[in-house]
Structure 1
Amino acid sequence: VYSHQQSLAQCRSWLDRHLPNVKRIAVGSNAEAASMAREDTGAAAIASETAGEIYNLSVLAHNIEDEPGNTTRFLIIGNQQVPPSGEDKTSLLISTRNEAGGLHRLLEPLAEHGVSMTRIESRPSRRGVWDYVFFIDVDGHKDEPHVRQALAALEKQAGMYKVLGSYPKAVL
Protein backbone atom coordinates (compact mmCIF):
# COMPACT_ATOMS: atom_id res chain seq x y z
CA VAL A 1 0.00 0.00 0.00
CA TYR A 2 1.45 3.31 -1.13
CA SER A 3 0.55 6.58 0.55
CA HIS A 4 1.90 9.69 2.20
CA GLN A 5 3.25 8.87 5.67
CA GLN A 6 0.52 10.95 7.34
CA SER A 7 -2.24 9.01 5.57
CA LEU A 8 -0.62 5.71 6.48
CA ALA A 9 -0.58 6.83 10.12
CA GLN A 10 -4.19 8.06 10.00
CA CYS A 11 -5.36 4.71 8.58
CA ARG A 12 -3.19 2.43 10.71
CA SER A 13 -6.02 0.65 12.55
CA TRP A 14 -7.89 -0.18 9.34
CA LEU A 15 -4.70 -1.39 7.70
CA ASP A 16 -3.81 -3.48 10.77
CA ARG A 17 -7.27 -5.12 10.71
CA HIS A 18 -7.71 -5.66 6.97
CA LEU A 19 -4.19 -5.82 5.53
CA PRO A 20 -1.94 -6.77 8.46
CA ASN A 21 0.80 -8.42 6.37
CA VAL A 22 0.91 -5.96 3.49
CA LYS A 23 3.95 -3.72 3.16
CA ARG A 24 3.27 -0.01 3.68
CA ILE A 25 5.37 2.33 1.58
CA ALA A 26 5.50 6.05 2.37
CA VAL A 27 5.79 8.34 -0.67
CA GLY A 28 5.79 12.12 -1.18
CA SER A 29 2.06 12.54 -1.74
CA ASN A 30 -1.16 10.59 -2.11
CA ALA A 31 -1.26 11.55 -5.80
CA GLU A 32 2.18 9.95 -6.19
CA ALA A 33 0.83 6.89 -4.36
CA ALA A 34 -2.05 6.61 -6.85
CA SER A 35 0.36 6.93 -9.78
CA MET A 36 2.57 4.19 -8.33
CA ALA A 37 -0.40 1.90 -7.68
CA ARG A 38 -1.42 2.30 -11.33
CA GLU A 39 2.03 1.06 -12.41
CA ASP A 40 2.23 -1.77 -9.85
CA THR A 41 -0.67 -4.19 -10.42
CA GLY A 42 -0.17 -5.84 -7.02
CA ALA A 43 -0.40 -2.55 -5.12
CA ALA A 44 -3.00 -0.20 -3.73
CA ALA A 45 -2.93 3.43 -2.64
CA ILE A 46 -4.54 5.53 0.04
CA ALA A 47 -5.67 8.55 -1.92
CA SER A 48 -8.67 10.67 -2.80
CA GLU A 49 -11.40 9.48 -5.14
CA THR A 50 -10.29 12.21 -7.52
CA ALA A 51 -6.79 10.73 -7.64
CA GLY A 52 -8.37 7.34 -8.31
CA GLU A 53 -10.30 8.80 -11.24
CA ILE A 54 -7.23 10.56 -12.65
CA TYR A 55 -5.12 7.40 -12.47
CA ASN A 56 -7.99 5.06 -13.47
CA LEU A 57 -8.03 3.10 -10.20
CA SER A 58 -10.96 1.31 -8.56
CA VAL A 59 -12.02 2.25 -5.05
CA LEU A 60 -11.54 -0.79 -2.81
CA ALA A 61 -12.72 0.76 0.47
CA HIS A 62 -14.13 4.10 1.60
CA ASN A 63 -13.65 6.02 4.86
CA ILE A 64 -10.74 3.99 6.21
CA GLU A 65 -9.37 6.71 8.50
CA ASP A 66 -9.03 5.92 12.21
CA GLU A 67 -10.58 9.24 13.29
CA PRO A 68 -13.45 10.37 11.02
CA GLY A 69 -13.27 13.89 12.49
CA ASN A 70 -9.67 14.42 11.32
CA THR A 71 -9.12 17.07 8.70
CA THR A 72 -6.12 17.93 6.61
CA ARG A 73 -5.19 21.48 5.68
CA PHE A 74 -3.82 22.18 2.24
CA LEU A 75 -2.11 25.49 1.65
CA ILE A 76 -1.14 27.45 -1.40
CA ILE A 77 2.06 29.31 -0.64
CA GLY A 78 3.20 32.30 -2.65
CA ASN A 79 4.53 35.84 -2.53
CA GLN A 80 1.34 37.59 -3.60
CA GLN A 81 -0.70 39.52 -1.07
CA VAL A 82 -4.36 38.53 -1.03
CA PRO A 83 -6.85 41.38 -0.53
CA PRO A 84 -9.64 41.05 2.06
CA SER A 85 -12.60 38.98 0.92
CA GLY A 86 -14.83 39.66 3.91
CA GLU A 87 -14.43 36.08 5.21
CA ASP A 88 -10.73 35.67 5.94
CA LYS A 89 -8.21 34.11 8.27
CA THR A 90 -4.71 35.23 9.15
CA SER A 91 -1.94 32.80 10.14
CA LEU A 92 0.89 33.84 12.45
CA LEU A 93 4.14 32.41 13.78
CA ILE A 94 5.07 33.86 17.18
CA SER A 95 7.09 33.12 20.29
CA THR A 96 7.34 34.40 23.82
CA ARG A 97 9.73 33.94 26.69
CA ASN A 98 9.19 30.87 28.87
CA GLU A 99 7.82 32.63 31.93
CA ALA A 100 4.64 32.53 33.95
CA GLY A 101 1.85 34.28 32.06
CA GLY A 102 3.98 34.77 28.92
CA LEU A 103 1.49 33.21 26.52
CA HIS A 104 -1.42 34.95 28.23
CA ARG A 105 0.24 38.36 27.84
CA LEU A 106 1.14 37.57 24.26
CA LEU A 107 -2.46 36.74 23.29
CA GLU A 108 -4.13 39.48 25.33
CA PRO A 109 -4.21 41.97 22.40
CA LEU A 110 -6.39 39.59 20.43
CA ALA A 111 -9.08 39.66 23.12
CA GLU A 112 -8.70 43.41 23.65
CA HIS A 113 -9.40 44.06 19.96
CA GLY A 114 -12.15 41.46 19.53
CA VAL A 115 -10.13 39.12 17.32
CA SER A 116 -11.07 35.46 17.66
CA MET A 117 -8.27 32.91 17.70
CA THR A 118 -9.41 29.81 15.81
CA ARG A 119 -6.33 27.63 16.18
CA ILE A 120 -3.10 27.43 18.17
CA GLU A 121 -0.35 24.84 17.89
CA SER A 122 2.97 24.79 19.70
CA ARG A 123 6.20 23.36 18.40
CA PRO A 124 9.66 23.23 19.97
CA SER A 125 11.71 26.15 18.63
CA ARG A 126 15.00 24.20 18.54
CA ARG A 127 16.63 27.26 20.09
CA GLY A 128 16.65 25.83 23.59
CA VAL A 129 14.96 23.51 26.05
CA TRP A 130 11.38 24.56 26.84
CA ASP A 131 11.44 27.22 24.12
CA TYR A 132 8.42 27.07 21.82
CA VAL A 133 6.97 28.78 18.78
CA PHE A 134 3.23 29.04 18.22
CA PHE A 135 1.32 28.76 14.97
CA ILE A 136 -1.89 30.73 15.37
CA ASP A 137 -4.87 31.33 13.11
CA VAL A 138 -7.20 34.25 13.79
CA ASP A 139 -10.45 35.34 12.19
CA GLY A 140 -10.07 38.33 9.90
CA HIS A 141 -7.65 39.79 7.38
CA LYS A 142 -4.44 41.49 8.53
CA ASP A 143 -5.56 44.70 6.80
CA GLU A 144 -8.87 44.98 8.66
CA PRO A 145 -8.53 47.79 11.24
CA HIS A 146 -9.31 45.72 14.38
CA VAL A 147 -7.03 42.87 13.26
CA ARG A 148 -4.25 45.32 12.29
CA GLN A 149 -4.43 46.95 15.75
CA ALA A 150 -4.38 43.59 17.54
CA LEU A 151 -1.41 42.38 15.49
CA ALA A 152 0.53 45.58 16.11
CA ALA A 153 0.07 45.16 19.87
CA LEU A 154 0.87 41.44 19.68
CA GLU A 155 4.07 42.17 17.75
CA LYS A 156 5.29 44.40 20.62
CA GLN A 157 4.82 41.49 23.07
CA ALA A 158 6.32 38.74 20.91
CA GLY A 159 9.91 37.56 20.98
CA MET A 160 9.44 36.48 17.37
CA TYR A 161 6.58 37.63 15.15
CA LYS A 162 5.75 36.73 11.55
CA VAL A 163 2.50 37.08 9.65
CA LEU A 164 2.41 34.02 7.41
CA GLY A 165 -0.49 35.44 5.44
CA SER A 166 -4.14 36.36 5.21
CA TYR A 167 -6.44 34.39 2.95
CA PRO A 168 -10.12 33.58 2.36
CA LYS A 169 -11.58 30.94 4.68
CA ALA A 170 -12.11 27.55 3.10
CA VAL A 171 -15.63 26.56 2.20
CA LEU A 172 -16.38 23.10 3.59
Structure 2
Amino acid sequence: MTHEIPELARQLAPVKRPNPVLWLYHWRYELLAVTLLPYALVNLVLWLGPVWSVVAFVVAFNWVFYWRAARRHVRGRLRAIVVQHRLRTAFASARICTVDGRRPAILWTRPVDGDIVVSLFCPAGIGFDQIHSRREVLADACFATEIYVDRHPKYGALVTLTICAKTARREPGRAVSPGDVVPLRAHS
Protein backbone atom coordinates (compact mmCIF):
# COMPACT_ATOMS: atom_id res chain seq x y z
CA MET A 1 0.00 0.00 0.00
CA THR A 2 2.81 2.46 0.81
CA HIS A 3 4.47 2.04 -2.61
CA GLU A 4 1.21 2.35 -4.54
CA ILE A 5 0.45 5.96 -3.59
CA PRO A 6 3.70 7.52 -4.96
CA GLU A 7 3.37 5.38 -8.09
CA LEU A 8 -0.22 6.55 -8.58
CA ALA A 9 0.88 10.18 -8.08
CA ARG A 10 3.65 9.66 -10.63
CA GLN A 11 1.19 8.22 -13.15
CA LEU A 12 -1.28 11.08 -12.71
CA ALA A 13 1.17 14.00 -12.63
CA PRO A 14 2.01 15.65 -15.96
CA VAL A 15 5.59 15.32 -17.18
CA LYS A 16 7.37 18.67 -17.06
CA ARG A 17 8.35 20.30 -20.32
CA PRO A 18 11.97 21.50 -20.49
CA ASN A 19 12.69 25.16 -19.90
CA PRO A 20 14.02 27.15 -22.91
CA VAL A 21 17.69 26.75 -21.95
CA LEU A 22 17.28 23.00 -21.50
CA TRP A 23 15.34 22.84 -24.79
CA LEU A 24 18.30 24.50 -26.54
CA TYR A 25 20.63 21.95 -24.95
CA HIS A 26 18.44 19.04 -26.09
CA TRP A 27 18.48 20.28 -29.69
CA ARG A 28 22.10 21.49 -29.70
CA TYR A 29 23.31 19.26 -32.54
CA GLU A 30 20.46 20.18 -34.84
CA LEU A 31 20.72 23.89 -34.05
CA LEU A 32 24.47 23.85 -34.67
CA ALA A 33 23.95 22.03 -37.96
CA VAL A 34 21.34 24.55 -39.11
CA THR A 35 23.43 27.58 -38.12
CA LEU A 36 27.07 26.55 -38.53
CA LEU A 37 26.84 24.49 -41.74
CA PRO A 38 25.58 27.37 -43.92
CA TYR A 39 28.08 29.72 -42.27
CA ALA A 40 30.95 27.30 -42.92
CA LEU A 41 29.89 26.72 -46.53
CA VAL A 42 29.66 30.45 -47.26
CA ASN A 43 33.09 31.05 -45.70
CA LEU A 44 34.55 28.10 -47.62
CA VAL A 45 33.26 29.53 -50.92
CA LEU A 46 34.60 32.98 -50.04
CA TRP A 47 37.99 31.60 -49.01
CA LEU A 48 38.60 28.98 -51.75
CA GLY A 49 36.31 30.17 -54.50
CA PRO A 50 33.36 28.28 -55.96
CA VAL A 51 35.32 25.69 -57.98
CA TRP A 52 37.79 24.70 -55.25
CA SER A 53 35.10 24.65 -52.60
CA VAL A 54 33.14 22.10 -54.67
CA VAL A 55 36.33 20.05 -55.05
CA ALA A 56 36.97 20.23 -51.28
CA PHE A 57 33.37 19.22 -50.54
CA VAL A 58 33.54 16.23 -52.93
CA VAL A 59 36.88 15.11 -51.45
CA ALA A 60 35.52 15.37 -47.88
CA PHE A 61 32.34 13.49 -48.81
CA ASN A 62 34.31 10.71 -50.53
CA TRP A 63 36.72 10.50 -47.60
CA VAL A 64 33.85 9.89 -45.18
CA PHE A 65 31.92 7.67 -47.61
CA TYR A 66 34.77 5.34 -48.58
CA TRP A 67 36.74 5.21 -45.32
CA ARG A 68 35.04 2.54 -43.23
CA ALA A 69 36.16 3.86 -39.83
CA ALA A 70 34.95 7.39 -40.60
CA ARG A 71 31.64 6.07 -41.92
CA ARG A 72 31.18 3.93 -38.80
CA HIS A 73 32.00 6.90 -36.56
CA VAL A 74 29.53 9.22 -38.32
CA ARG A 75 26.79 6.56 -38.31
CA GLY A 76 27.35 5.82 -34.61
CA ARG A 77 27.32 9.52 -33.69
CA LEU A 78 24.10 10.14 -35.64
CA ARG A 79 22.47 7.12 -34.01
CA ALA A 80 23.54 8.39 -30.58
CA ILE A 81 21.83 11.72 -31.30
CA VAL A 82 18.61 9.98 -32.36
CA VAL A 83 18.71 7.74 -29.26
CA GLN A 84 18.86 10.82 -27.00
CA HIS A 85 15.62 12.19 -28.44
CA ARG A 86 13.89 8.81 -28.37
CA LEU A 87 14.94 8.20 -24.75
CA ARG A 88 13.55 11.55 -23.60
CA THR A 89 10.23 10.72 -25.22
CA ALA A 90 10.29 7.18 -23.82
CA PHE A 91 10.97 8.49 -20.30
CA ALA A 92 7.85 10.65 -20.55
CA SER A 93 5.61 7.96 -22.04
CA ALA A 94 6.83 5.21 -19.67
CA ARG A 95 6.42 7.60 -16.71
CA ILE A 96 10.03 7.31 -15.65
CA CYS A 97 9.83 10.58 -13.76
CA THR A 98 9.57 11.97 -10.28
CA VAL A 99 6.23 12.74 -8.63
CA ASP A 100 6.53 16.36 -9.79
CA GLY A 101 7.30 15.31 -13.40
CA ARG A 102 11.11 15.60 -13.69
CA ARG A 103 12.79 13.07 -16.00
CA PRO A 104 16.34 11.69 -15.83
CA ALA A 105 18.95 13.94 -17.42
CA ILE A 106 21.03 12.51 -20.24
CA LEU A 107 24.59 13.52 -19.42
CA TRP A 108 26.42 11.95 -22.34
CA THR A 109 25.76 9.52 -25.17
CA ARG A 110 28.52 7.74 -27.04
CA PRO A 111 28.79 4.87 -29.51
CA VAL A 112 30.91 1.95 -28.28
CA ASP A 113 31.48 -1.12 -30.50
CA GLY A 114 28.09 -0.92 -32.22
CA ASP A 115 26.23 -0.21 -28.97
CA ILE A 116 25.15 3.15 -27.59
CA VAL A 117 26.19 3.93 -23.99
CA VAL A 118 24.05 6.56 -22.28
CA SER A 119 25.01 8.15 -18.96
CA LEU A 120 22.02 9.33 -16.93
CA PHE A 121 21.65 11.50 -13.85
CA CYS A 122 18.52 10.53 -11.96
CA PRO A 123 16.90 13.16 -9.73
CA ALA A 124 15.67 12.18 -6.28
CA GLY A 125 12.65 9.92 -6.72
CA ILE A 126 13.96 7.99 -9.72
CA GLY A 127 16.17 5.02 -9.14
CA PHE A 128 17.81 2.07 -10.77
CA ASP A 129 14.79 -0.14 -10.02
CA GLN A 130 12.36 2.14 -11.85
CA ILE A 131 14.50 2.27 -15.00
CA HIS A 132 15.36 -1.42 -14.84
CA SER A 133 11.70 -2.45 -14.63
CA ARG A 134 10.84 -0.52 -17.81
CA ARG A 135 13.75 -1.71 -19.97
CA GLU A 136 11.47 -3.27 -22.58
CA VAL A 137 9.65 0.01 -23.20
CA LEU A 138 12.95 1.85 -23.56
CA ALA A 139 14.31 -0.84 -25.89
CA ASP A 140 11.25 -0.58 -28.13
CA ALA A 141 11.56 3.19 -28.25
CA CYS A 142 15.25 3.02 -29.24
CA PHE A 143 14.82 0.23 -31.83
CA ALA A 144 17.04 -1.98 -29.69
CA THR A 145 16.96 -5.67 -28.94
CA GLU A 146 18.22 -5.27 -25.39
CA ILE A 147 19.01 -2.51 -22.91
CA TYR A 148 21.38 -3.18 -20.04
CA VAL A 149 20.98 -0.98 -16.99
CA ASP A 150 24.02 -0.55 -14.73
CA ARG A 151 24.20 1.50 -11.58
CA HIS A 152 27.32 3.38 -10.65
CA PRO A 153 29.21 1.63 -7.84
CA LYS A 154 29.81 4.85 -5.92
CA TYR A 155 27.09 7.36 -6.87
CA GLY A 156 23.48 6.23 -6.62
CA ALA A 157 22.13 8.97 -8.88
CA LEU A 158 24.23 7.89 -11.88
CA VAL A 159 22.88 5.13 -14.10
CA THR A 160 24.33 3.86 -17.37
CA LEU A 161 22.23 2.38 -20.15
CA THR A 162 23.86 0.21 -22.81
CA ILE A 163 21.58 0.06 -25.83
CA CYS A 164 22.25 -2.96 -28.07
CA ALA A 165 20.80 -2.97 -31.57
CA LYS A 166 22.16 -6.40 -32.46
CA THR A 167 21.02 -9.74 -31.10
CA ALA A 168 21.07 -9.93 -27.34
CA ARG A 169 24.24 -11.27 -25.80
CA ARG A 170 24.84 -12.38 -22.27
CA GLU A 171 27.95 -11.22 -20.52
CA PRO A 172 29.12 -12.74 -17.24
CA GLY A 173 29.51 -9.34 -15.53
CA ARG A 174 25.94 -8.11 -16.14
CA ALA A 175 23.43 -7.72 -13.36
CA VAL A 176 20.55 -10.16 -13.65
CA SER A 177 18.27 -8.71 -11.01
CA PRO A 178 17.77 -5.08 -9.95
CA GLY A 179 19.30 -5.75 -6.54
CA ASP A 180 22.69 -6.76 -7.94
CA VAL A 181 25.34 -4.06 -8.08
CA VAL A 182 27.86 -4.53 -10.83
CA PRO A 183 30.76 -2.09 -11.25
CA LEU A 184 30.67 -0.29 -14.57
CA ARG A 185 33.31 -0.83 -17.20
CA ALA A 186 32.70 2.66 -18.58
CA HIS A 187 33.36 4.49 -15.30
CA SER A 188 36.10 2.34 -13.83
TM-score exceeds 0.5: no
More helix by share: 2
Q: TM-score range by the shorter chain?
A: under 0.3
Give the structure-1-normalised TM-score: 0.27
Give the structure-2-normalised TM-score: 0.25
